Structure 1
Amino acid sequence: MRALDTWERVLIALIMLVYLGFGLGIEGFFSPYALADSTYNFSEKALIALAMALLVVSGEIDLSIAATMALASLAMGLAMQAGASLPLMLCAAVATGALCGGLNGWLVTRWKLPSIVVTIGTLSLYRGLAQVVLGDQAITGYPETLSTWGNGSIGDLIGQPGFIVPIEFGVMLLMAILVGLFLHATVHGRRVYAIGANPIASRFSGISVDRYRLGLFVFAGIMAALAAILLTGRIGSTRPNLAMGWELDAVTIVILGGVAIEGGRGSIVGVILAAVLLGSFNFALGMLNVSGIVMSMIVGALLIVAMVLPRWLKVLRRPSAAVLKPA
């Protein structure tokens, strides 16, 4: 069991198995263009999973993060219809995401409400607002620049068409590095771990627990807005069902990445590996024409396995203790 000392090694092994197995069984799976396309399956979800990971490490959760994406996209679409320029459209999306996250954080920190209850409520609120405003309509006609960000490659930006790495993937990697440095290499990251492990002791240690939690909820809203901008550019429209169900995918990525659901433990490396694993697996199933409902079932099963397997491995590694009975 020495090869399974860290959960990240298990994830790397699983990724290698996925690529090897599907690469041998699906023609064209290993082509550069197919590998580039596969990143679209997880880049946007990884962005919201990064924010979700910080919240879960701190002992909180945001189940409204996908609904926040729909509302941020709606704000961007309404700004466009009002004649706003692209920078103002982006500001509208980011401001909406920050306000949504701020409302979640305010309810949790000011009124001491459980975040899972609060964000279930705001999930319905945010998604409902998008559905009421849009109905069965969609907002289209976004600027070509936005479409380039959602569908283009980094080579398009630097004038090297042969460099086919998607812009979305580059944005995801940049944010992963920044979030990873924050969590693992700064005093603020250590405080986030401390808050998740023991919030009461953290307060007595002088850490402003509520301020950190509020900031993490606002950051989650901003990351949702960033993901919404990229997703809207990629599909070319704003719809009320934008990112429907992605909150389950984000939670699955976080837990599969080794972040403890009770808080206080986890790594950004594990979260990114889990996003790659889940995204590449779904991409391969899509190439095999597997239906969406089957993919949803697999995501649910992976969530259960991700919670059970680390505990099972921990039990297997634990040395058995002999029970000594008095003579």
Structure 2
Amino acid sequence: MSNATLAPPTERTYRDFQRPLWQRVLLTREMAVIGALVLVIAYASLTVRNFGAPITYTYLFLDVAAILLIALPMTLIIITGEIDLSVASVVGLSSVLTGTLHQAGLPFALAALIAIVAGAVAGSINGFLVTVVGLPSLAVTIGTLALFRGLAVGLLGTTAITDFPETWRDLATSKIPGTPIPSVVILIAVLAVVFGWLLHFTPFGRGIFAIGQSKEAAHFSGVRVERTKLILFVLSGSVAALAGIYYTLRYGSARGDNATGLELSVVAAVLLGGVSIFGGRGALHGPIAGALLIGAMASALRLASVTSDVINVITGTLLILSVVMPSLLAWAQSRRARRRGKRRGETSAHAGANPGTAASG
């Protein structure tokens, strides 16, 4: 079966707007994920010991902060029909650059700024290979994942840098006064507003959706397809580097293997949040809820003494389901529509063969 058959439809029709507004807002995949998040938190609070404690929510946000940050630009990239699997290695490379430069005598803020610029360069390499050379983003970012991870490990080896300013480390793990919510949530909220505005309220965002629905049609409509994708990959690299700085301060250690495998959780959160892997569909609040759902489940399972291997299996299962379920639903809907069309055709043919019966009816 071809991808065209499996891919769920992304185009908007008049039928999409026949429903009342409340149904179009509430009866969506994104709201389903938010509902699942509420149910998981409520159930875990009642059944898992200490899950409802404020400290649990503090560590929940600290643990998913890097995922939430990287998921913001990743959402926009996947909506265009591309993907960036190199983000976790950029986190590691940013961590190593920050630690190495600070150890060499640079102020921490300057070292962090250079690391963010390096992340933007890494993203531009991905974007150049995808948009100018014309290579598929899956192959490109798998290759650069190994490249950037190799650079990170090569720069630092198997050692770790742990000598960071206490002020910066405390800032990364500090809480909003009077709440159990970490201060890093403020940064995430600001970036979420920026990316949400960019995606949903600007011509640039409309171009992102147009590219995901049809790259050729978007091009002929005036969307600068290559430039848009290049910008998104640069944003992805920059935000991944920012996440790497947070990751370094959060754990107090710069290592070449930091955040290994994090891309799995990021992609799972984005797809679980209702973004179509085929492009053209998605909303930013869905991946945010998806990341929090994955984090809440992992936190509850850890408190229930479930091993990390089992948690990884569950995360992988969620990723597979988030990819497969929309395609299965689209396939079921198309079969149902064909059966209805066939029944209508048979009814029309029967009525045509028996005009007297149809008239008397």
User: What is the TM-score with the length of structure 1 in the denominator?
Assistant: 0.93
What RMSD, in angstroms, separates the aligned Cα atoms of the two structures? 1.8
Give deviations 1:186-207, integer Å, cap 9, x for gaps.
Answer: 1111111111111111111222
The answer on whether the counterparts of 1:195 and 1:264 sit within 8 Å (CA) in structure 2 is yes
1:236 is aligned to 2:252 = yes
What is residue 170 of structure 1 aligned with on the other side?
A: 186
1:13 is aligned to 2:13 = no
Distance (Å, rounded) in 2 between the aligned partners of 1:142 and 1:266: 39
What is residue 306 of structure 1 aligned with on the other side?
A: 322
Report the alpha carbon displacement of residue 115 of structure 1 after superposing the two structures with TM: 0.7
Q: Secondary structure at the match of 2:95?
A: helix
State how 1:20-99 maps to structure 2 within 5 Å.
20-99=42-121
Give deviations 1:55-108, integer Å, cap 9, x for gaps.
Answer: 001121110011011111111111101111122111111011101001111111
Distance (Å, rounded) in 1 between the aligned partners of 2:127 and 2:340: 45
What is residue 148 of structure 2 aligned with on the other side?
A: 126
Q: Which moves more between the two structures, 5-14 or 275-284?
A: 5-14
Report the alpha carbon displacement of residue 309 of structure 1 after superposing the two structures with TM: 2.8
Report the alpha carbon displacement of residue 228 of structure 1 after superposing the two structures with TM: 0.7
What is residue 340 of structure 2 aligned with on the other side?
A: 321
What is residue 183 of structure 1 aligned with on the other side?
A: 199
Report the alpha carbon displacement of residue 9 of structure 1 after superposing the two structures with TM: 2.3
Identity of aligned residues (%): 40
The answer on whether the counterparts of 1:154 and 1:163 sit within 8 Å (CA) in structure 2 is yes
The answer on whether the counterparts of 1:97 and 1:221 sit within 8 Å (CA) in structure 2 is yes
Distance (Å, rounded) in 1 between the aligned partners of 2:45 and 2:328: 30
The answer on whether the counterparts of 2:91 and 2:241 sit within 8 Å (CA) in structure 1 is yes
The answer on whether the counterparts of 2:30 and 2:283 sit within 8 Å (CA) in structure 1 is no
Q: Mark the structure with the bigger radius of gyration.
A: 2
Listed as ranges, the gaps of 5+ residues in structure 1 are 156-161
Give deviations 1:189-241, integer Å, cap 9, x for gaps.
Answer: 11111111111111112221111111100000111011111111010011111
What is residue 279 of structure 2 aligned with on the other side?
A: 263
Give deviations 1:126-179, integer Å, cap 9, x for gaps.
Answer: 001111222211111011132123211132xxxxxx333202222212211211
1:253 is aligned to 2:272 = no
Q: Secondary structure at the match of 2:340?
A: coil
What is residue 101 of structure 1 aligned with on the other side?
A: 123
The answer on whether the counterparts of 1:140 and 1:238 sit within 8 Å (CA) in structure 2 is yes
The answer on whether the counterparts of 1:11 and 1:270 sit within 8 Å (CA) in structure 2 is yes
Report the alpha carbon displacement of residue 12 of structure 1 after superposing the two structures with TM: 2.0
Report the alpha carbon displacement of residue 7 of structure 1 after superposing the two structures with TM: 0.6
Listed as ranges, the gaps of 5+ residues in structure 2 are 1-22, 351-361
Number of residues of Structure 1 aligned to a counterpart in Structure 2: 320
Give deviations 1:280-304, integer Å, cap 9, x for gaps.
Answer: 1111111112111111100110011
Distance (Å, rounded) in 2 between the aligned partners of 1:141 and 1:83: 11
1:207 is aligned to 2:223 = yes
What is residue 295 of structure 2 aligned with on the other side?
A: 279
